Structure formats: structure tokens, C-alpha cells
Structure 1
Amino acid sequence: MASDSEAYRFTWLPSFSALLTIRVERRGSVYVLHAEHLGGYRSALDAPSTRRSRLLLPSEWNEFQRKLKAFSFWTQSRRMSVPENFLGLDGAEWLLEGVQPGRYKAYLVWSPGEEGQGGAFREACLYLLELSGLAIPPSDFY
């Protein structure tokens, strides 16, 4: 990875809906978003995959960085994650990964709440959904 690059990927793995991935990356002063929603909203069989890519404005990138800092993405020592041997029957795994030269960090959270660190994590992920323009209401994310 080039010294002036970084990337983040949000993967949403719901129990009863189609997988979603959104990746944003910076290469120098160029910011790009790639999004993919596998299948339709209710089922992977409903519709073909939706893929989108677009350039981000520096202000959009900066806002995402602000949201990452709100939950201490790079500095948090305690990892928010799915507890070992946890069995969720209804909900979703939210995975947010980040990579910078020489650094990688990932957070795996089961259906994050709207308060505290989980809320800040959720807000950063939903901001990527907003930027993607995919037609999935944030209120439908669990």
C-alpha cells in the first residue's frame, strides 16, 4: 500500500436480507467509494446485484474520518466484537475494517445499539450507506 493511501470496508451480514459491502479509499488526494448490494433487499433471489462507484468529495471523506474518530477507530484498545460462542438468532453482523500503511484494524459488532461507542460505530457505518446512494433506508438496518 502506498504511503499516502488508506481504505475502509463496511460489510453488513444480516440474518434475513442480502449482503452489503461498501469500500472507501484514499489514494493521495483522490477519494473513491465502491458499493455492492448482493441481490434484492428482502432476499438474494429478489434481484440482481447492485454495484456503484463514485468519487467522494474531500468534505465527505473528512466527515467519515470525523465519525471514525468519534469511536476511536485507530486508538481504541478495547475491541467491540461479537462475543465468543455468541449465537444470534435475529440481527446482523456489522464489520468495519481499515487499512493504512503498516496498520490494519477491524471491528465486528452484532447489531450495534444507538448509544455510546456502539452508536458512534453505527453512525460511521450508516454514513457510508448514505454516501453509497443505495436504496436501503438506514432505519431498516438492525
Structure 2
Amino acid sequence: MKRLVLIVVLMSSSCFAQTRMFPAGALDTRNDLDVFRNQWYSRALQALHEPSLSSEAKDQRVESYRFLWLRSFNHPVSVRIYRNDKKQWMLTLKIASGAGGYPPGVLIDEETCGVKDVDMQAFLTRVNKTGFWTAPNPVNDQKGTDGSQWIIEGVKDGKYHVVDRWYPKDGVARELGWEMVFNLAGLEVPKQSIY
């Protein structure tokens, strides 16, 4: 029986090792909560068919930013801004069929478009003004069970950073997430579903 339990544990840990989208310790100071968040967010990103940005940081040429919006009772949403092979800025908006606090479901909507240089420069200025690259993380700010996670990731010059906040009303995650999902991606969301 002990051998069977060990095999199951090893199989589940090796499956998780393949699906980890965030560096260890990036999402929580407690190992068990860091693993939990990593699994939760990674499942959503996999359902959205999104790459691991922390892995992309190995390439010094990559610059990319992503907002992952996990609302307890609404569809998972990701907005990723990146440079394509022609050095043009692109934006991809994806939505999954499930809910942010439950199984993420499957990809149901995907749109990709170019980003105007003037809009991109304004966004990059906002990234710097908010102090994204030096914003503390992990921050254990969750004060309830239902709500939303606003996760902003960035890759630039071989450096990776993530800012993860629970239901932020202001600050770097709220400002950059809002800019990405509403202003750049143009997603229309009923007011009662913005949390």
C-alpha cells in the first residue's frame, strides 16, 4: 500500500512540475499556498492556451506583459501584449468557459490585434510609473474567499516579474489590469462583474 501511495504522489508531483507556469515562491511566502496558487493560475492559463512567461524570460529579446483576471463567478480572462517576429506589438485577448474560482473550462473566445505605437508607449510609461518592476510580491492580501485575483506578469531583458493582488481597488495590479483589459483590449464587462 505504501508503494502505491508513493507512486501516486510521484505521478501527481511530476504532472504538476510540467504544468508550473510561475517560479516557485513567486505567489506566496508559504510553500503550500504558493503551490496551491501556482496550480490554480496554471490551470487557468492552460485552459486559455497561454504560454509560461517566466519560461520566456530565458530569451533576452522577449518583452511581454500579461493580465490574468480570475473572478470567482465569471469567466477567466487573459490579455497578453507581446512583440511578434516582425517587432510589432500585438495584443491577444482570451476567455475561457468556466469561472475563475472554479474549473476554468475551455477556451471560448480569442482575439488578436495590433497595438498602435502611441498606445504601447503610453502603456509602457504606465508600467514604469506604477513601479511594476519593483512592486513587492508575494503580498498576502486576501481577506475573503470570493472576489478576484488580478495577476500581472512582465518579461523584459531576461527579467521576469509578477504582481498578484486580491480584489485590488487601486495600485499597480488594478491600474495595469484595467488598462490592458478595458482600454487596450476593449473588453465590455457589466459594471457588477468588475471586481
Match of 2:185 in 1: 132
Does residue 24 of structure 1 match 2:77? no
Match of 1:15 in 2: 72
TM-score normalised by length of structure 2: 0.58
C-alpha change, 1:44 and 1:53, in structure 2 (3 Å) is farther
TM-superposed CA distance for 1:138, in Å, is 6.4
SS in structure 1 at match of 2:162: strand
Match of 2:127 in 1: 68
TM-superposed CA distance for 1:121, in Å, is 2.9
Unmatched 5+ stretches in structure 1: none
Q: Which has the higher helix share?
A: 2
Q: Which has the larger radius of gyration?
A: 2
C-alpha change, 1:54 and 1:97, in structure 2 (3 Å) is same
Unmatched 5+ stretches in structure 2: 1-58
Distance in 2 (alpha carbons) for counterparts of 1:6 and 1:71: 18
Contact 1:82 1:108 in 2 (8 A): no
Structure with higher RCO (Cα < 8 A, 6+ apart): 1
Contact 2:66 2:78 in 1 (8 A): yes
* Aligned with residue 90 of structure 1, among 129, 132, 146: 146
Contact 1:15 1:91 in 2 (8 A): yes
C-alpha change, 1:103 and 1:2, in structure 2 (3 Å) is closer
C-alpha change, 1:104 and 1:13, in structure 2 (3 Å) is same
**Please, what is the CA RMSD of the aligned residues?**
2.8
Contact 2:164 2:173 in 1 (8 A): no
TM-superposed CA distance for 1:37, in Å, is 1.3
Distance in 2 (alpha carbons) for counterparts of 1:39 and 1:108: 22
SS in structure 2 at match of 1:133: coil
Distance in 2 (alpha carbons) for counterparts of 1:125 and 1:99: 16
